[in-house]
Structure 1
């Protein structure tokens, strides 16, 4: 089978984990779970393992310094520098156009936490086997709760990688947008629904042919930006004027929901998108009462008689007494206090928007 090329999409606005995450240094570049940053952990899950090649990183100019400072193997990493953000369809197309047509791309966001890296690699190998048969493969994440913040994949009929193999994955019977709570509960009860984790595998040439079929203008604009771009060592810079004409659209809307070759592989790998402070709380180790202290290396915290409290401080001592279901974050002169339910709205705060 072809070498799997990790394609890491790296950027973000830094609003959902404000005030720790900021526009100038969003969450991929922060050590939120463990000692490595989420970006470093994304690369290390594949780095040095059999079957995985050197990565292609797609990032914006504003984050290039962080990427180059944190990439584990700079000499063997290729970096595509977007002049501006144009969503995931364009970012993936940039990488595909810079790879051989038969390269199997493993598209990974740079800001997810995956607790079981071995399970991730096993799912990646299964997805790659289907990708060589020209399936566009999504990772289906085990739905463990009626989550309303994720899209869902409905599992269809089984697909074997070869005629002699057991099922390597399944057709996607349906893509489902973020549901309300009643529908999410129905999905869990019914079974056969998986969270859409935003991780994909496909052959570069086939992805581009499907993009050209379903979004010809977007494909043509990305192609022009690449043809008129230039190399700078290991960096590649698409042409800014051509790139500015690209329509901003996610790969889900542009391709995955339109193709007749959508497949999925199940992935049970302790995954979290760390999409807000409550998601981070759930990814961290907690005490018997559900309390967690996010260690930034500087801040201190004391929790007395508390349940389900998260504290993260970059300096000042934080003391919490008798509280339940609370999130407290201190970053410089900014202080955030939220309930777990309110964590979804942090990105709407004036401080987060105007950072």
Structure 2
């Protein structure tokens, strides 16, 4: 089995976690659960002693110093400096085009929380074995609720005794009724955006379905330059790419789509309510980060970077204090935080 190369994607601005997350220091680089940032935790899950190679990180220029400052000291990772955001197909292709064709890539978003690291690593090795046989593998995350904010994977036939399955179909984000039906069916998993491919197989499939992206990425890499551990693709060539997600560009079109089911205490920390659910809570469902006192409260999250917050007799509320900014929302309203004036114009 080839060593697995983690490819860590650092994209997005994290506006739904405003005011804590900012463009200058977005969600991956914050210690939202415990004292380790989500990015550092992602790298630590993929350590050498667990059978992983040093990571390849794909990040924008604005966040390169954050990446370099937070990479664990045991990792001698390299950084591909993405000239501009062109969605996940191009970002993954940048790494694939820089790696040997037979390298097994494990694509990991940098801003997810995974509580069961052992389950993640076991799934990664199962996925890598399938990828070595030129399957393009998604992690199929066991759903714990009828979630409408994620796409789903429908499990198909088993692939021998590998522990993997063919993907019968990809399903767009459903409404609540369909999400409940998926949960009751038992054959559907969340599509969490974690993948394993052989680098050459991925580039072949990308060229088959989106030749324009594959050609532009290869040209930008050929015409790019190295700067120590940083690699800079050619910006002018990369700018010509019409961005598309890896799901639309490749995964939903390939005949080699596979999945590995996994239950690993996963959360994409997609908004403040998702963070609340991932944090340790008291018997009344309350979670506190920073200085706060709660009396007769249920299902309340307080996250303060300084001022003491007192909350009395309140249910289902999220209170965030960041410097001079105070944000208060209900769990249902958490989806709209990214549309606030402060988040959009941070």
Coarse TM-score class (shorter-chain normalised): over 0.9
CA distance in 2, matches of 1:12, 1:48: 27
Match status 1:226 vs 2:217: no
Offset from partner CA, 1:195-221 (integer Å, 9 cap, x none): 001000000000000000000011111
Structure 2 CA distance for aligned equivalents of residues 340 and 66 of structure 1: 30
* 1:78 aligned onto 2:78: yes
Give the secondary structure class of the aligned counterpart of 2:25: coil
Q: CA deviation digits over 1:7-56, x for unaligned, max 9? A: 00013212010000001100100000111000000000011323211110
* Alignment partner, residue 248 of structure 1: 243
In 1: Cα distance, 2:53 partner to 2:214 partner: 26
Q: Find 2:188's aligned residue among 183, 188, 193.
A: 193
TM-score (norm 1): 0.96
Equivalent position to 1:349, from 333, 340, 344 = 340
Q: CA separation in 2, counterparts of 1:122 and 1:116?
A: 10
Instruction: Report SS of the residue matched to 1:231.
Output: strand
Report if aligned partners of 1:130, 1:168 keep a CA contact under 8 Å in 2.
no
Task: Measure the CA separation in 2 of the matches of 1:145 and 1:50.
Answer: 31
Aligned residue in 2 for 1:163: none
CA offset digits 1:164-221 (Å, max 9, x no partner): xx24210000000000001001111111000001000000000000000000011111
Question: What is the rounded CA distance, in whole Å, between the counterparts of 1:156 and 1:10 in structure 2?
Answer: 31
Answer whether contact 1:6 1:106 (CA < 8 A) is retained: yes
Q: What TM-score, normalized by structure 2, do the two folds share?
A: 0.99
Q: For residues 42 and 293 of structure 2, what CA distance do their matches in structure 1 show?
A: 32
Q: 2:210 aligns with which of 209, 215, 225?
A: 215
Verify the 8 A CA contact 1:11 1:26 in the aligned structure 2: no
Q: Which moved more, 1:170-179 or 1:71-80?
A: 71-80
Q: After the TM superposition, which of the residue ranges 310-319 and 74-83 deviates more from structure 2?
A: 74-83
Q: Distance in 1 between matches of 2:79 and 2:69?
A: 12
Residue of 298, 307, 311 corresponding to 1:316:
307
Instruction: Give the aligned partner of residue 292 of structure 2.
Output: 301
Q: CA separation in 1, counterparts of 2:311 and 2:300?
A: 9
Any stretches of 5+ residues in structure 2 without a counterpart? none
Q: 1:75 deviation in Å?
A: 6.5
Deviation at 1:74, TM superposition (A): 7.3
Partner residue in 2 for 1:42: 42
- Alignment size in residue pairs: 346
Question: Which residue of structure 1 aligns with residue 69 of structure 2?
Answer: 69
**SS in structure 1 opposite 2:253?**
coil
Correspondence list, 1:71-150, <5 A: 71-73=71-73, 76-150=76-150
Distance 2:231 2:162 in 1: 39
1-structure distance, mates of 2:123, 2:162: 12
1:337 equivalenced with 2:332 (yes/no): no
Residues 132-156 of structure 1: CA deviation (Å, up to 9, x unaligned) = 1100000000011000000000000
Structure 1 unaligned segments of length 5 or more: list them. 161-165
Q: Distance in 2 between matches of 1:73 and 1:269?
A: 25
Change (3 A) 1:65 1:271: same
Q: Is the 8 A contact 1:328 1:336 kept in 2?
A: yes
Q: Is the 8 A contact 1:96 1:208 kept in 2?
A: yes
Aligned equivalents of 1:145, 1:214: Cα separation in 2: 33
Secondary structure of the 2:299 match is: strand
Task: Please say if residues 137 and 265 of structure 1, whose CA atoms lie closer than 8 Å, have aligned partners that are also in contact.
Answer: yes
SS at match of 1:95: helix
